[in-house]
Amino acid sequence: MKAPRVTLDQWRTLQAVVDHGGFAQAAEALHRSQSSVSYTVARMQDQLGVPLLRIDGRKAVLTEAGGVLLRRSRQLVKQASQLEDLAHHMEQGWEAEVRLVVDAAYPNARLVRALTAFMPQSRGCRVRLREEVLSGVEEVLLEGVADLAISSFNISGYLGTELSAVEFVAVAHPEHALHRLQRELHFQDLESQLQVVIRDSGRQQPRDVGWLGAEQRWTVGSLATAATFVGSGLGFAWLPRHLIERELREGLLKVLPLDQGGSRHPTFFLYSNKDKPLGPATQILVELLRTFDTAPLDAAFAAPEQA
């Protein structure tokens, strides 16, 4: 890659000339001589091969090319400043990245709220979010490639912070054979029907969770796919209520009237990497995840302003 001919200082100088209304004003703002500012801009024009400013009376006015380059240069200077800030924060122990792995059944609305609130406080720290199913979360945490993990499992050797429970309900299409029985259902009624289950994304010791007594069972890769299959009349499944609220409301899915076990409420836990001390950014994100975990999913939301 060819080295840039124009420096960040030169772009800052051009911006000052435009923003402050002239060479003299820019020189005063930059604490430099007017001749130095004028030379810097003239040198830039020679290096770039295009005129950036033209003199209109006593005022320097951007050319069309100058306007385009100035707009692009503002982003360049801003990014350079952010890079320097990030280096400063890293020197003080601030993380460059937080790796968060979450069970796909955990409500996205809570994650969005927490991450939205985290962004103005992040100081350039990136978040790498990864979704897994069942033991896949535990596996990623144990491999040491996650800083934080949200799972419904009690992970051996880790002390998790208790979060809220997620309700799973047994559902099928309203015209499914089970609903056509028009009575309270028992597990024996389910045994002859197709059950749709979600594949555990863990590779080492995948687990089966919930009732799996149907003679015919189809396994899919995601909760969304399971909801689509069941909503199309293909089988029944236990799905997170928050994920299918619209389908239930619009009558595309209907809760099965089971005499027992029609709903279950696994509690989720927030874990941290025990082999790595929590940095300041990770600690902030932990508090935000805990805060927004308790907020109603349909509550009005505005991210808190940065202190």
Q: Which of 121, 31, 123 is nearest to 83 (CA)?
A: 123
Residue 307 lies in a domain: no
Residue 165 has pLDDT above 60, yes or no: yes
298, part of any domain: no
Question: Does residue 301 lie within any of the structural domains?
Answer: no
Assess whether 194 and 46 both reside in one domain: no
Task: Supply the pLDDT for residue 1.
Answer: 58
Residue 86: the pLDDT is 58
For residue 304, being part of any structural domain is answered with no
Query: Confidence class of residue 137 from pLDDT cuts 50, 70 and 90?
Result: very high
Domain check: are 68 and 104 in the same one? Answer: no
Domain residue limits at 196 = 166-262
Residue 300 included in any domain: no
Q: Is residue 103 situated within a structural domain?
A: yes
Tell if the pTM clears 0.95, that is, is over it. Answer: no
Instruction: Examine the fold and report which residue of 90, 113, 137 is the final residue of a domain before the chain moves on.
Output: 90
Give the number of domains in the chain.
3
Q: What is the arithmetic mean of pLDDT over 99-117?
A: 95
Same-domain status, 235 and 195: yes
User: Residue 265 and residue 132: Cα distance in Å, rounded?
Assistant: 19
Amino acid at 173: H
Whether residue 114 is found in the same domain as residue 75: no
Is residue 104 located within the same domain as residue 157? yes
Quick one: 248 and 113 in the same domain? no
Q: How many residues in total does the chain contain?
A: 307
Q: What's the CATH number where 238 sits?
A: 3.40.190.290
| Domain identity same for 138 and 170 | no
Compute the distance between CA of residue 174 and CA of residue 172 in angstroms, rounded to an integer.
Answer: 6
Mean pLDDT of 172-189: 95
Query: Both tokens of residue 202?
Result: 């863990």
Quick one: 244 and 282 in the same domain? no
Q: How far apart are CA 65 and CA 73, in angstroms?
A: 12
Shared-domain flag, residues 112 and 132: yes
End residue of a domain, out of 59, 90, 121: 90
In the structure, what pLDDT confidence band is assigned to residue 93 with cuts at 50, 70 and 90?
low
Q: Which residues contact 257 (CB under 8 A, 6 or more apart)?
A: 183, 184, 185
Asked if 118 and 255 sit in the same domain, the reply is no
Q: Note whether residue 296 is domain-resident.
A: no
Please say if the pLDDT value at position 105 is more than 90: yes
Q: Average pLDDT of the chain?
A: 88
Structure confidence at residue 306 as a pLDDT band (50, 70, 90): very low
